[in-house]
Amino acid sequence: MITATVTDTRGLMSSLLLSDDFDHWNLFEVEVKMDCDFKIDGSINKNFYNAQEFEELNNTDYVNWARVRKMVFEIIKGKKSPLSLKIIISVPYELMLQLFSKNGVDQDSISNAYLNISFKAGEASVTTGYSYKTFTMNKDGEAVFDEYVRGILDNYIEND
């Protein structure tokens, strides 16, 4: 598990909100506290789509970050920083399987791998998290995902 302080908040926020660096990741949740609170649940409302439209979304349960990135940026841009901001995104399942396969990790161990980005009181931090299909003592999947995330965030977080 990674728990790190962000040393380049502006750079990370730019990568997250102004570029397509994370667009293929899935959005679980965004919470923004400003003059009022905003919360975006990334769960797809399946009843909104007909069968063909939902199939075109690859039958996923969550929207891609790309679909809400600009909306989140519009909410937080302005002269004052939000009181707090929390973004939880997940690596696409297919990419997680590729990472595991490439590194010889049991593909059935982790069902989701998350990146949590938090901003509060002028401080930003990132943590990784995981959900498992079954109980396991094997943490190889976590190590592979953490290495992948460190590669992406290396320029933005403090190194151990």
pLDDT, tens digit (0-9, with 9 covering 90-100), for 88-120:
999 988 888 888 888 888 777 788 899 999 999
pLDDT on residue 134: 77
* Domain-embedded: residue 104: yes
* Domain-embedded: residue 54: yes
Q: Are 40 and 75 in contact (CB under 8 A)?
A: no
* Domain-embedded: residue 11: yes
- Number of compact structural domains in the chain: 1
Beta strands in 42-83 (DSSP E): none
- The residue range of the domain holding 71 is 3-153
* Domain-embedded: residue 159: no
* Domain-embedded: residue 134: yes
- For residues 38-55, one letter each, b for 16 or more C-beta atoms within 10 angstroms of the residue's C-beta and e for the rest, the string is eebebebeeeeeeeeeee
* Domain-embedded: residue 60: yes
43 pLDDT exceeds 90? yes
* Domain-embedded: residue 160: no
Report the alpha-carbon distance of residue 157 to residue 145 in Å, rounded.
16
| SS3 state of residue 139 | coil
pTM given for the model: 0.90
Return the DSSP state at 122: T
* Domain-embedded: residue 158: no
Q: Where do we find the tokens 């399987």?
A: 97
